[in-house]
Structure 1
Amino acid sequence: MTNPPPVPEGYGHLPGPPQQGYGHPQPGPNPYAGQPQQPQQPPQPQQPPQPPQYAQQPVGYGYPPPMPPGPPPGAGHPAKRKTTILIAAAVAGVLALGTGGFFLFADGEGKKEPVAQPSSSASGDAKPGAPSPDASVDDGDGNGTGRAENEDLNAGRKPGEDKVLWLKTNEIELPGSGAEGPAQWVVGDTVVKAVYKSVTAYGAADGKQRWTVSFPAEICAATGQATADGKTVLMFKNGESSSADCDQMKQVDLKAGKEGWTKEVPKEGAFDIMSSPSLSITGDTLGVSRLGKASAFKMSTGDKLFGPPDQGCKPDSLAGGAKLVAIAGCGNNAEELQGLDPATGKALWNYKWAEGWNVSRVYSTDPLVVDATKKATKERVIAVFGPDGKLRSQLTGEGKFSARCGISIFSGPQACTGVVVDGPANTVYLPTEGDSNEIVAFDLGTGKIKWRHPAGQGRSAVPLKAEGGNLIAYLEPDYDKGGEVLSFPAGGGKPTTLLRNPSGVAAPVENGFFNPQIDYAGGRLFLSATRLSGRSQGPEKFLMVFGK
């Protein structure tokens, strides 16, 4: 096997310039590309680009949001940059060394919000950290909490636009530093949201509170995944102090609204740091990953299934979904991917990377699509693997692509949105970076571009999921124009608009969400805050739902 190609200079999470704003692709061809190279000796490429900053400062829903940061001089539409990513074909062993061009994929990691002041206490008999029932639902008819009649969320709606079904504002009592909103699930006719010390379900159509499961301390890890029967697991701290470990697991039934078992994650040796774990679910297996270690438990009972092996390459993190995949450290700066038996942890196959290569993101486990980097030479590649762990292809095409990946305490190898892998359609969808971006479809078998479509209108489009052979994407709003839900045919062509959110009063509210979690299900669009500050100059928007 050969090594991946070089990438152009830019800002990124690897050593280099400050991590602010968008990356700066250098004009013209890569000065390192195309130079004569000795076999198996990669060139000294330049640094990869900075993840774009998509997040906005939080504001109250009645106030205009600040303008989002724009790209620096020189950044713009990919067609103007004509940056090329050329990735050589793979042969057995290691990744191939490319000649000429740039490989340029960037993580769009949102930044954290500033420290905030506490909000007003929850009303009624609600426990601290839990929401009060229905006190803050605005159903868009001008009678919602804190809104005057002339502030109807659907005021100014134009012909052909759909409507805001409801807006939920925060009534949860928060600490002075604010709190995370780490996960959102759409389950049947409810949308379920985890915030601070509670998991709460709201009616998808009306926003009325259905149930709440309270936690004794702050939730510190969660996953958007769940079992086929609607169960998930969240982790919470073992105390209220700032030094408390994140080592407590609680099962929650998202359909019934009931809590299940609660268990502690046992330490795997003296240096098992339980400060920022990430979770994954594969069937009845829960993966708990933390710094340098990973272990697995039964979703149904909480009983331990397996921990790190005594010998060989040891899994640092687990990625779940249709299959269980491990990113394993092998010592001496070596790493491998492993396909694991979810019941025993036994490796079914392994793929050894060349020295210095590390997998940073897992976009899908079936088919397996990963993002890997080589820190020493600033190289990067997105690779596709077959079910036997053999390298199938590497993405190659023209443009600067971005995924939106978390950098909070809840981040893990699967903490990314904006990348959709559709196995039946043999396609992976990626957006290009920046305003007026493009959605690009890659063939999983060849790694080559199948089609690309501009979002246009000065707005960015974000792939959400594959459904019925089509790609569902969210066209982001402007301050004066609502967002849209689009359906792209798998074979390419003009998208169909499934939902057109209202302009007028609603558009600046939608546009002001801080790096939201986004779901489209049952003809409704759900946006929820990933962090609450509690310090806005009015009700702080928390969950907003659009529909027909």
Structure 2
Amino acid sequence: MTQPPPPPPNQPPGPPQGGFGAPQDPPPGGFGAPTPPPEQPGYGYPQQPPTQPQYGYPQPPTLGAPPGPQGPGGPQYGYPQPPTQPMGAPPGQPQQPYGYPTQPQYPQAPAPAGGGKKLSAQMQIVIAAVVAVALIVGGGIWYANSGGGEENPNAKGGSGSTQGQGGDKGNGLGGNGKEKVPANTQSKLSFQLPKPKVTDLTDVTGSWITDKAFVKTGVNSIVAYDLDKGTPLWTLPLAGQVCGSSRHVTADHKVPILFEATKRVAPKFYQPCTEVGVVDLTSGKLVWSTSVTGGSAGDQKARFSEITLSGTTVAAGGSDGGAAFDLANGNPRWKPSVDGNSCYDMGYGGGEGIVAARKCGSYDAGYVMIQNLDPMTGRPISQYKMPAGVKYASVVSTKPLVVAADVGDTAGDGSGISDFFSIDEKTGKLKAKIAASADRFGASCRSTKVEACSKVLVGNNRLYLPTEEHEGSTGEYGDETNEIVSFDLADGKTTSDKADAGDRYTLVPLRMDGGNLIAYKVPPYDKGGQVVSIDGGTMKATVLMENPSDKSVRDAEDSFSEDYSEILYGNGRMFISALMVSKPRESSSTALKEYLALGFSTN
């Protein structure tokens, strides 16, 4: 997990609300009013109903405190600071090995009692074979957790593709994915969108794929581009900058957004994030837009920082409270309010359900409630009170319900995660608390956002997490790698699931595809990136796309960091786009060219 850079300089002061204890970003947010972007890779691609996941690097199946000391990480995903090094470039310093268990020592063949004759070579072989069989039968769990054994030479997927620990039959999970292996997995660079000219740091978070277009937030606009040529298909001008957008999209390509009522002007380059709307990504039309009053905003327009979607309900939350709207016409279903306990909805998780993270009490003596809501009325169906020491919480999945939090600010790296909580959404009872120490795992949540986690997936009743980078098998400079592992959401225990990135690559989970995982493989400095499908049953990775390794294309891909970008993949196409854009850098002959987005295609 990773340390965030400081927030952008144009943020106005806001109420005391922050990264699990730190002062909060300014009230307007979501995808705008320069708030650090949330996202998650795979953001915005129409999602199937999640069947959710888990995570686990070999460790004892116990719950509670993180199993090891906390440690520093890299930059947090979603913050607008430029990365310190381009994606795939050789790291500054090699890390220590990730912590594989030591190789078990096999017993020596016993000598005859009394120190008589030595056993024959044949007898020693027989005894050794018996011991080995006993170890395999009795110690199979160690083998599965450690990932020992050779890579299957027949496994598809090229570099880093591995045969899953469950063997050919796997664990009975996975499958039903829509993404198929293209006839040719070698991609070409389809287009490069130039970075727009801006006078100040500007949030451009928000990107989606339809059957005809790649759609991207621009400056005071949303623009659709041809999937293969990158030529504009339509442009939707807006009154102000987009400052929030949903990662969930309807089947007919409609998406909720937040935007500012007027354009930004010097010197503050900031406007309140008050307008709620729905965009038709097919036609490029703003279906409706509205604003509401109430909550701590009183008679003024309520300010929102994020927005989501579940069924026919659009829900927006922020420091002024939460509100919900009818997807079809924008009619309010509930408005911001503050009750007698000073409770208000900070934000919502969407998808299969609507789950609120509700802040109650004073800043110094407050607590957080997780409420599964009736999407038509906002009334709680169930609720769970987060432990003491939790100031903010992030909803990873609504069904099954999985929440991330930094309990007592113990993560120590700005990732917003010390533990995951698996909660029964019907009863509100805690099923499992899963410790996820920052020095082991690479997921990240924007702590002041409720639905802004990245590098974490839920599916197959599991929580899937990437490990932090560690030294590869060669132990050479630039040989860092990682894995994706899982936890069982029913009991919080680690499973035998493990997908290896392979030496010099690192895996970034993007989204679920049925029971399979779609992941991006960050390449070494001399290779192109890859997109792989990981079977949820066997954890076998199959390459769907491999990007060109020639220098000009590598430089373009490397100009994006996976921690500061949105990465979408679907139907043989991959799009990687910026979350923030800033003023042009000072001219330099060695400076990397900057882009708003890149498109790759195997079609």
Q: Which residue of 2 aligns with 1:519?
A: 568
| Displacement of 1:201 | 0.9
Q: Which residue of 1 aligns with 2:306?
A: 278
Hey, which of these two has a bigger chunk of helix by percent? 2
Paired residue secondary structure (1:217) = coil
| Mapped partners of 1:376, 1:287: distance in 2 | 28
Matches within 5 A, 1:252-401: 252-270=279-297, 277-291=305-319, 293-307=321-335, 308=337, 310-311=339-340, 313-331=343-361, 332-375=365-408, 380-388=418-426, 389-395=428-434, 400-401=440-441
Q: Are 2:407 and 2:418, in contact at CA under 8 Å, matched by a contact in 1?
A: yes
| Displacement of 1:363 | 1.1
2:522 counterpart of 1:455: no
| Mapped partners of 1:252, 1:413: distance in 2 | 22
2:485 counterpart of 1:430: no
| Mapped partners of 2:216, 2:375: distance in 1 | 27
| Mapped partners of 2:290, 2:223: distance in 1 | 21
One-letter amino acid matched to 1:544: L
| Mapped partners of 1:67, 1:163: distance in 2 | 18
| Displacement of 1:280 | 1.1
Q: Are 2:256 and 2:308, in contact at CA under 8 Å, matched by a contact in 1?
A: no
2:230 counterpart of 1:183: no
Q: Which residue of 2 aligns with 1:123?
A: none
| Displacement of 1:81 | 9.2
| Displacement of 1:380 | 3.0
| Mapped partners of 2:539, 2:441: distance in 1 | 20
CA shift in 2, pair 1:371/1:454, >3 Å: same
Q: Which residue of 2 aligns with 1:93?
A: none
Q: 2:489 aligns with which of 429, 444, 461?
A: 444
Paired residue secondary structure (1:260) = strand
Q: 2:96 aligns with which of 76, 80, 91?
A: 76
One-letter amino acid matched to 2:554: A
One-letter amino acid matched to 2:326: K
CA shift in 2, pair 1:534/1:341, >3 Å: same
Paired residue secondary structure (2:322) = strand
| Mapped partners of 2:456, 2:2: distance in 1 | 21
| Mapped partners of 2:339, 2:539: distance in 1 | 52
| Displacement of 1:524 | 1.2
Q: Scaled by the length of structure 2, what TM-score is found?
A: 0.64
2:227 counterpart of 1:204: yes
Q: Are 2:422 and 2:433, in contact at CA under 8 Å, matched by a contact in 1?
A: yes
Q: Which residue of 1 aligns with 2:187?
A: 163
Paired residue secondary structure (2:555) = helix
- The superposition leaves residues 289-345 of structure 1 with CA deviations (integer Å, 9 ceiling, x where unpaired) of 112621212222122111336345432221111100011123242221111011111
Q: 1:193 aligns with which of 216, 233, 256?
A: 216
One-letter amino acid matched to 1:310: D
Paired residue secondary structure (1:509) = helix
- The superposition leaves residues 34-68 of structure 1 with CA deviations (integer Å, 9 ceiling, x where unpaired) of 9xxxxxxx999999544521679869xxxx95886
| Displacement of 1:527 | 0.8
Q: Which residue of 2 aligns with 1:547?
A: 601
| Displacement of 1:482 | 0.4
More displaced 10-residue stretch of structure 1: 285-294 or 162-171: 162-171
| Displacement of 1:518 | 0.6
Q: Which residue of 2 aligns with 1:419?
A: 456
- The superposition leaves residues 250-297 of structure 1 with CA deviations (integer Å, 9 ceiling, x where unpaired) of 321012221121212324234789666111111121211112621212
Q: Are 1:397 and 1:448, in contact at CA under 8 Å, matched by a contact in 2?
A: no
Q: Percent identity?
A: 29
| Displacement of 1:372 | 2.0
Paired residue secondary structure (2:200) = coil
Paired residue secondary structure (1:269) = helix
Q: Scaled by the length of structure 1, what TM-score is found?
A: 0.70
| Mapped partners of 1:187, 1:291: distance in 2 | 32
| Mapped partners of 2:185, 2:526: distance in 1 | 13
Q: Are 1:280 and 1:287, in contact at CA under 8 Å, matched by a contact in 2?
A: yes
| Displacement of 1:76 | 3.2
More displaced 10-residue stretch of structure 1: 267-276 or 247-256: 267-276
2:581 counterpart of 1:532: yes
Q: Are 1:54 and 1:68, in contact at CA under 8 Å, matched by a contact in 2?
A: no
Find the structure with the greater CA-based Rg. Answer: 2
Q: Which residue of 2 aligns with 1:53?
A: 75
More displaced 10-residue stretch of structure 1: 396-405 or 501-510: 396-405
Q: Are 2:293 and 2:301, in contact at CA under 8 Å, matched by a contact in 1?
A: no
Q: Are 2:240 and 2:260, in contact at CA under 8 Å, matched by a contact in 1?
A: yes
Unaligned runs of 5+ in 2: 5-18, 23-58, 103-183, 412-416, 470-479
One-letter amino acid matched to 1:221: G
| Mapped partners of 2:359, 2:403: distance in 1 | 16
Q: CA RMSD in A?
A: 3.6
| Mapped partners of 2:88, 2:529: distance in 1 | 16
Q: Which residue of 1 aligns with 2:133?
A: none
| Displacement of 1:14 | 6.4
One-letter amino acid matched to 1:320: G
CA shift in 2, pair 1:45/1:394, >3 Å: closer
| Displacement of 1:385 | 1.5
More displaced 10-residue stretch of structure 1: 216-225 or 514-523: 216-225
| Displacement of 1:533 | 2.5
| Mapped partners of 1:182, 1:547: distance in 2 | 22
CA shift in 2, pair 1:361/1:166, >3 Å: same
CA shift in 2, pair 1:78/1:44, >3 Å: closer
2:535 counterpart of 1:489: yes
CA shift in 2, pair 1:494/1:178, >3 Å: same
Paired residue secondary structure (2:99) = helix
CA shift in 2, pair 1:463/1:11, >3 Å: closer
One-letter amino acid matched to 2:482: N
CA shift in 2, pair 1:296/1:57, >3 Å: closer
Q: Are 2:188 and 2:547, in contact at CA under 8 Å, matched by a contact in 1?
A: yes
Q: Are 2:419 and 2:436, in contact at CA under 8 Å, matched by a contact in 1?
A: no
RCO higher in structure (CA 8 A, sep ≥6)? 2
| Mapped partners of 2:66, 2:534: distance in 1 | 39
Paired residue secondary structure (2:554) = helix
Paired residue secondary structure (2:524) = coil
2:517 counterpart of 1:471: yes
Q: Are 2:20 and 2:409, in contact at CA under 8 Å, matched by a contact in 1?
A: no
Paired residue secondary structure (1:508) = helix
Q: Which residue of 2 aligns with 1:118?
A: none
| Mapped partners of 1:508, 1:76: distance in 2 | 28
| Displacement of 1:473 | 0.8
One-letter amino acid matched to 1:78: Y
Paired residue secondary structure (2:393) = strand
Hey, which of these two has a bigger chunk of strand by percent? 1
| Displacement of 1:196 | 2.1
| Displacement of 1:224 | 2.3
One-letter amino acid matched to 2:403: V
| Mapped partners of 1:278, 1:68: distance in 2 | 33
CA shift in 2, pair 1:66/1:491, >3 Å: closer
More displaced 10-residue stretch of structure 1: 534-543 or 387-396: 534-543
